[in-house]
């Protein structure tokens, strides 16, 4: 199903989408927000992005432009300041020609502070999308912070199930999707760039030192970690101190280049501590790679053990190496997985996500939405 097969007869609502950070700032949440917003514009919805750090365009409002809120800790204080800035800019957000939907991304404090903003702009509906890990010992906080959000999404399956139980109502699972560049039908590469590849930002939650542990155990394999972020220089220094020479860290690369490298690599490795739905995992599957991942979320809905890849039970290098070995040692198994993973990952699209979210919003508002 693609956007070309659907149309919105007349946009029955507009969306204000809020999160303090926006591309080109690095982050999976930032990419999710940008891609979902663009996909919704492609089907005729007026989407306004509101943020603090990023690059503004004609579809956005930047608050506290000269202040980098990333330096404010803890996150709850940062979000308080951010939503105060959005509240100050409320006159730039309000229009009266159609219902306004406030769609907030982040975690509990984002949702909590959005309540006052929703009242100030007269939002007809408040939508929440939780990314990453929900704190299992904070049920009461989530009940309170999401009480005014009529529609709730979670990128992670584990969070979707947890929040549905906590709230006692439907919570929708909304995974990310691979970009089209990873889904193009191309001939398999005849050369191998790497045996194992990881695509991730160099931040603590990605636990990329575990890739170095795997590489240290198997010096005959070629590894790559593709991505940027504040920890890149430190990880390169750590590899040098440990005399690990079989891991390339080229830094951030454009999607087209990442797709080329994935297609010439044999196995994809994800070692994160926590994730929602890792876009990089879907992109690797779309390129036909078997995937080996830590249990950073619940992936049974996406990966059948041995059919699409391998899900470890722990964050121990030896167990991950066992999974990698299963695929590196068996070319026939990799070839069988290639087509299966391509079909599985390519069934997720941003066009589908945009239409699904729009249909649910229209249903809640009782207005015309996506027509099949």
Count how many residues are written for the chain: 372
CATH superfamily entry for domain 3-177+349-371: Glycogen Phosphorylase B; (3.40.50.2000)
Contact 36, 353 (CB under 8 A): yes
Contact 271, 323 (CB under 8 A): no
Two tokens, residue 358: 């729009």
Give the pLDDT confidence score for residue 135 in this predicted structure: 77
Give the pLDDT confidence score for residue 263 in this predicted structure: 95
Query: For residue 223, what are the β-bridge partners?
Result: 196, 247
Q: Whole-angstrom Cα distance, residue 117 to residue 106? A: 15
Two tokens, residue 33: 């927000």
State the CB neighbour count (10 A cutoff) for residue 109.
19
CA-CA distances (angstroms) from residue 370 to 67, 336, 340?
39, 37, 30
Q: Is 253 exposed, middle or buried (0-12, 13-18, 19+ CB in 10 A)?
A: middle
Give the pLDDT confidence score for residue 4 in this predicted structure: 40
Phi, psi of 346 (to 5 degrees): -75, -5
Q: What dotted CATH number matches 180-346?
A: 3.40.50.2000
Give the pLDDT confidence score for residue 211 in this predicted structure: 98
Taking the chain, what is the end-to-end CA distance rounded to the nearest angstrom? 10
The reply to whether the predicted model has a pTM over 0.85 is: yes
Question: How many Å is the maximal CA-CA distance in the chain?
Answer: 64
The domains of the chain are located at 3-177+349-371, 180-346
Which residues in the chain come in under a pLDDT of 70?
1-11, 187-190, 368-372
Two tokens, residue 236: 């390169």
**Strand pairing class (265-270; 370-371):** unpaired
DSSP 206-270: G-THHHHHHHHH-TTS-EEEE--STTHHHHHHHHHHTT--SEEEEE---HHHHHHHHHTEEEEEE
C-alpha torsion 113→116→122→126, nearest 10: 30
On the question of a common fold for 3-177+349-371 and 180-346, the answer reads yes
358, containing H or E segment:
helix 350-365
Give the pLDDT confidence score for residue 191 in this predicted structure: 78
* Inter-helix orientation angle 331-346/279-286, to 10°: 120
Give the pLDDT confidence score for residue 190 in this predicted structure: 67
Give the pLDDT confidence score for residue 5 in this predicted structure: 43
């Amino acid at each position: 199903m693609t956007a070309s097969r659907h149309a919105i007869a007349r946009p029955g609502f507009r969306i204000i989408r809020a999160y303090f950070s926006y591309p080109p700032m690095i982050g999976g949440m930032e990419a999710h927000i940008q891609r979902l917003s663009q996909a919704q514009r492609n089907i005729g919805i007026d989407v306004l992005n509101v943020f603090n750090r990023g690059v503004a365009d004609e579809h956005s409002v930047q608050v506290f432009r000269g202040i980098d809120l990333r330096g404010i800790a803890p996150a709850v204080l940062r979000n308080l300041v951010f939503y105060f800035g959005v509240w100050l800019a409320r006159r730039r957000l309000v229009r009266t020609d159609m219902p306004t939907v406030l769609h907030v991304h982040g975690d509990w404090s984002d949702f909590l502070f959005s309540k006052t903003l929703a009242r100030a702009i007269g939002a007809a509906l408040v939508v929440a999308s939780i990314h990453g890990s929900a704190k299992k010992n904070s049920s009461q906080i989530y009940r309170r912070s999401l009480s005014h959000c009529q529609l709730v999404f979670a990128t992670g399956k584990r969070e979707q199930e947890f929040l549905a139980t906590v709230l006692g109502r439907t919570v929708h699972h909304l995974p990310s999707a691979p970009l089209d560049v990873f889904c193009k039908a191309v001939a398999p590469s005849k050369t191998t760039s790497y045996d194992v590849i990881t695509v991730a930002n160099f931040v603590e939650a990605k636990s990329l030192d575990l890739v170095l542990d795997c590489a240290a155990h198997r010096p005959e394999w070629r590894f790559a970690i593709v991505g940027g972020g504040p920890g890149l220089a430190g990880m390169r220094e750590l590899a040098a101190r440990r005399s690990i020479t079989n891991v390339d860290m080229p830094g951030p690369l454009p999607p087209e280049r990442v797709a080329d490298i994935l297609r010439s690599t044999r196995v994809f490795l994800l070692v994160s501590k926590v994730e929602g739905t890792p876009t990089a995992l879907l992109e690797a599957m779309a390129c036909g790679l078997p995937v080996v991942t830590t249990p950073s979320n619940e992936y049974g809905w996406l990966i059948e053990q041995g059919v699409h890849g391998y899900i470890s039970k722990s964050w121990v290098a030896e167990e991950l190496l066992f999974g990698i070995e299963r695929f590196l040692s068996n070319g026939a198994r990799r070839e069988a997985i290639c087509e299966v993973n391509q079909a599985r990952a390519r069934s997720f699209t941003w066009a589908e996500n945009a239409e699904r979210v729009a249909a649910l919003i229209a249903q809640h508002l009782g207005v015309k939405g996506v027509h099949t």
